[in-house]
Each structure stands twice: as C-alpha cells, then as structure tokens.
A and B are shown apart, each in its own frame.
Chain A
C-alpha cells in the first residue's frame, strides 16, 4: 500500500512542527529576547499554516502586524526595560512542574475533543482538489464594509469595523499618554 505523499499535508506537518516546537521553546527558555525570537518563528510558521488553509490575506496580515509590528514593539519594550545585559528571570522548579502538568492535562483534553468528532477529520484528496481557489482579500474588504458576498444570509461587520477603528485611536492616544516622559522626575532619575 504505497500511497503517494500528499504534499500539502507534508507542508502542514512541516509548518505545524516549527510552530509547536518554537512555542514550546518560548516556554522553556529563560532569556526574554530569545523568547521573542522563538515567538517570531512560531508566529511566522502559523502564518504559513494560514496560507495553507487558503487564508492568504490573513496570513500576510499576520506577518505584517503581528510579526513585523507587535513583536518589534515587544522587543523594543524589552530593551527599554532591561537592567542586566541579558535579562532572565528564573521560575522555581515547583511552579514550572505544576504549570507543565496542568498544561499537559489541558492539552490532552483539547486534543481528545478535537479528534473525537469524525466530521473534523478531513476530506478525501479528490474533494479537496475540487475546491476552487478563490482570492479572499476583496471579499474580506466587502465584509468589513457590511456587504457579504459569500452567502446571502450572512451578516456584515461594518459596525464592528467602525468600533475597532475608534478603539485603535483611543488606544493610540492612551498608550502615548501612559508612556509619556514625566517631566522633572524623569530628568532627576537620569
């Protein structure tokens, strides 16, 4: 029974292995800049998984905002707040043990749930190749403007979109206010 290798699955396994391995590395490493680096690799591999699932716009968005924006911001924060040359904060072995035990239990439950529904086990290769390749960017844009093109009775997201826009503005102002330099006090410290 030598079945040919199904290549999308091969790439799925590759990307998911990278994503999972570096996610574990994020937990294990004590050095916070390495954590950020592993997180970048994990999130980039997740973007690869998004591309594989046909969500090309979300994948590019993930690369741009998450990896290129949010994480650069995080590393920037790490550098601004570092006291030693290489900051690392150790956790006690007991805490780590409890957390890992609970985590493994949680994972077993989640994975069991995910595997227990037969409809979620995937389709046959023929069915998958019959699915047309459709670009997602324009339908997503229409959806954000309230007009859904993929189904007649699905709702648009105009209000959500507007709320998030205002929210982002508020966040921008709020973050700038919170992080501003505090006049005299700061000068003295420096």
Chain B
C-alpha cells in the first residue's frame, strides 16, 4: 500500500505514515465493530439456546443497537478503583490486553494472491500471531494482581497457569499446517489451499482433521472462553480478574477478549479451512484473479476477505454455542485436559501428519492441486542459478516442494552431517 502512495508522488515518509494509518484504522475498525457485533450475537445465541428471544427492542427489530446502548452506558459509568490498588498497573492493564489482541491482527492476512491484504507480510507470521496472542495474559495477570482483591488474584493465577499450559498444544497443532505448506508465512499457507474444499488442510489427511479439533479446543481455552473460563468463573470468583473494573476499562477487557476470539478463529480458518479460498472457488470461476488484471484480482481479494471474515465469525459463533451448552470445568480438569489429552494427541498427530506427508507427498485421498505454491528458499535459488541441472530436478519434482528443497538445496554442500557436527567421542 505504501508503494501505491509513493507512486502518486508524495514524500516517502508521508506515504508510509498514510499507508500505516489506513491499515491500522481498518484493523481497529474490524476489532471494534467485531466486538459490537459479537456481543449482540452472544446475547442472541445465548437467548436462543436458553429458549429466550434475547434483545428485541433497541434499534428496531432484532435489538441491533443493544451493544451500542450498552457502550454508552459503560462510558457514563464512574471509573472506580479499589482503595488498596496499585494505581499505575491497575490503570494500564486493560490496555495491555487490548494492545496484544490488536497487534495479532497486524500479521493476519485477509486475502492472498500476488497482492495479499495484510498489514505486515511476515515470513514467520504463524509464530508471531501465536506469540502476541500469548501476551494478552499479561494484562489479565496485572489486573488481577493490582486490584488488591483475592477474587481477582485467584482469577489471574488460574489464567496464568492455564494459558502457559495451553500454549504448548496450540503451538503443536499450528505446526502441522506449517509442515504441510513448508512455510510459516500465513499468505503462503492460505494460497496453498486454493480451489475446492478438499484442498483445505482440514481434509488433507485424517491427522490434520483431528488436529483441527484439538486446535479449536486449545484456542477456546487460550482465549478463556467457557468451558475454560476459569479466570472469570462467576459462580466462584464473582467475576475473576475484572471484579474491580468498571466502565470503559472493563469494556476494554471485553474488546480484547472478543478480538482474540476473532483472531484465533481467523488463524484456524487460514491454517485449516482454506482461508480466503471458499468451499467453491467462486473468485477464480468468475475470473477475478490477478492474471486478468489488477482490479479484477482486487475484487477477487475483496470476495476472499469477506469469505475469511465469514469463516472467522462462524468460528466465534461455534465458541458461543459451546459456551452456552457445556458446564464449566474445574481448574484441575482444565489442566488435565491440556496435559493428559491435548498435548499427547497433538504430538501424535504431528508425528502422524509428518509420516503421512512422507508416504503420500501428493495427497492420498484427494489429489492436491498441481499449481501448489513452490517453496523457494534463498539457497535454493542460488543453487538453481549455479546449475541448470538443479533447475531440471526442480521442474520434475515441482509437485514435491519439500523434497525439492532438499535435493537442490543440498547438492551444493552435500558433505555428510557427521563431518559438520562435532563428534561426541572426541
């Protein structure tokens, strides 16, 4: 986007600032509007599940504006702080949470192709998103500690234990699509799943299918949604870490929670559900690709963005459905679920997916699309430039990107491993 502004000849620094502002505005809008819609949706979903109607009056037929009215009420509330609280940390904690959840959206792409819709096109995007989402817990811990209330402290300690535990299986599950795509770049991972839905990594093999459900469970736990919302646990801890908060600061915690729910759902969509590639490739059927011109491709990307956000909202809705259906677990049950079930399952699925990829590099059940993304590493390119032989190998093996990487990458330095690593015997 900065290139666009530079091309209409303004100062480079102004161009970068403008591009940054546009992207940040879009992301903030997504998170804020997302929170508005999700809170309304949560009420409607919970209402329907409990055989009620939910909000019906504010703003016309379906209570559309209920959240806005709530927001106004929250704005006018007094900003209370308990007497013994650590003032600085108490004030800053909600913003820490919110910043973490907002930053995760920086690296999430909304459409791929030659001009991906992403604020920060990172080579290690999967890792970055998981890392930043893990920081959200800090706001919660600070809030719990600084409130000088035992409910808050208990909530925060539970949250710390839970989030640190659940990051392990979450990371293990996220590694499986990374392994299949041969890249940690979310744009690449999304683009590798183009075409119809059997190209999605969800249906790549039985192991990825199970991995997706483990991922979704762990993601629900890592964003503190019921049945894993031990940090809030109304029946035991009043309201957990945000017991002492009111008004705008309290609502920031909720924006952060709904923001990170959307973020993990979007991540799940990109990793397993094809991202911006629909069940049916509408955009490419209509010819809306970058091969046919920039603006057609742009229109296709807008469609893809709508598709991805639709999948993300669907994921959040499932989380709500789960919340209003299942009872809350006890803290020991939560940790047991993580360490005794999720971690071993995720680990064995990882091994299984590796072996499957080794046995059927082209996909076994549904043939993978031949136009899959080619993994190109720098040393790969160097080797290609050096010899035409390497290029030929690459061509014949273009359906096996991982194998290609090793064959052409290692030709230049084929020295055995033992010669390179120090010998333990001496």
The answer on A and B forming one complex is: yes
In-complex Cβ contact of B124 among A7, A137, A142, A156 (8 A): A137
* Contact assessment for A63 and B378 in the assembled complex, using a CB-CB cutoff below 8 Å: no
* Contact assessment for A56 and B122 in the assembled complex, using a CB-CB cutoff below 8 Å: yes
B413 touches A (CB below 8 Å): yes
B377 touches A (CB below 8 Å): yes
- Chain A positions 43-85 with a Cβ under 8 Å from a chain B Cβ: 44, 56-57, 60-61, 63-64, 67-69, 71-73, 75-76, 79-80, 85
- Chain B, residue nearest A163 (CB): B424
A102 touches B (CB below 8 Å): no
Using an 8 Å CB-CB cutoff, how does the interface string of A5-30 with B read, 1 for contact, 0 for none? 10100000000000000000000000
* Contact assessment for B421 and A146 in the assembled complex, using a CB-CB cutoff below 8 Å: yes
Give the size of the chain A interface in residues (CB under 8 angstroms).
46
Stretch in A109-117, A147-155, A177-185 with 4+ CB within 8 Å of B: A147-155
A138 touches B (CB below 8 Å): yes
A134-B378, A149-B413 known; A60-B127 Cβ under 8 A: yes
- Chain B positions 191-219 with a Cβ under 8 Å from a chain A Cβ: none
Stretch in A33-41, A89-97, A122-130 with 4+ CB within 8 Å of B: A33-41
Kindly state the separation between the CA atoms of A76 and B157 in the bound complex, as whole angstroms. Answer: 7
In-complex Cβ contact of A139 among B130, B131, B378, B410 (8 A): B378
Kindly state the separation between the CA atoms of A152 and B415 in the bound complex, as whole angstroms. Answer: 10
A174 touches B (CB below 8 Å): no
B135 touches A (CB below 8 Å): yes
* Contact assessment for B413 and A148 in the assembled complex, using a CB-CB cutoff below 8 Å: yes
A31 touches B (CB below 8 Å): yes
* Contact assessment for A75 and B417 in the assembled complex, using a CB-CB cutoff below 8 Å: no
A60-B128, A63-B131 known; A156-B123 Cβ under 8 A: no
Kindly state the separation between the CA atoms of A157 and B421 in the bound complex, as whole angstroms. Answer: 6
Taking CB atoms, residues of chain B closer than 8 Å to A61 are 127, 131
B148 touches A (CB below 8 Å): yes
In-complex Cβ contact of A40 among B86, B138, B412 (8 A): B138
Kindly state the separation between the CA atoms of A76 and B137 in the bound complex, as whole angstroms. Answer: 11
A33-B86, A85-B84, A137-B184 known; A64-B421 Cβ under 8 A: no
- Chain A, residue nearest B126 (CB): A60
In-complex Cβ contact of A155 among B84, B86, B421 (8 A): B421
* Contact assessment for A155 and B420 in the assembled complex, using a CB-CB cutoff below 8 Å: yes
The smallest beta-carbon distance between A176 and chain B, in angstroms, is 11
A107 touches B (CB below 8 Å): no
Kindly state the separation between the CA atoms of A75 and B93 in the bound complex, as whole angstroms. Answer: 14
Kindly state the separation between the CA atoms of A64 and B422 in the bound complex, as whole angstroms. Answer: 30
The smallest beta-carbon distance between B267 and chain A, in angstroms, is 14
In-complex Cβ contact of B421 among A40, A75, A134, A159 (8 A): A159
Taking CB atoms, residues of chain B closer than 8 Å to A68 are 131, 134-135, 137, 167
* Contact assessment for B417 and A158 in the assembled complex, using a CB-CB cutoff below 8 Å: yes
The smallest beta-carbon distance between A34 and chain B, in angstroms, is 7
- 6 chain-A/chain-B pairs, Cβ below 8 angstroms: A31-B86, A61-B131, A72-B141, A137-B184, A155-B420, A155-B421
Which 7 pairs, one residue from A and one from B, show the smallest C-beta to C-beta distance? Answer: A68-B134, A64-B131, A149-B379, A63-B131, A135-B123, A158-B421, A60-B127
For the complex with contacts A7-B16, A137-B127, 20 further pairs of A-B residues with Cβ separation under 8 Å are A33-B86, A33-B146, A37-B138, A57-B123, A57-B127, A63-B128, A68-B167, A79-B145, A79-B160, A80-B157, A132-B378, A135-B377, A139-B377, A142-B409, A148-B420, A149-B413, A156-B417, A157-B421, A158-B421, A159-B421
Binding site for B on A (CB under 8 A): 5, 7, 31, 33-34, 37, 40, 44, 56-57, 60-61, 63-64, 67-69, 71-73, 75-76, 79-80, 85-86, 132, 134-139, 142, 145-150, 152, 155-159
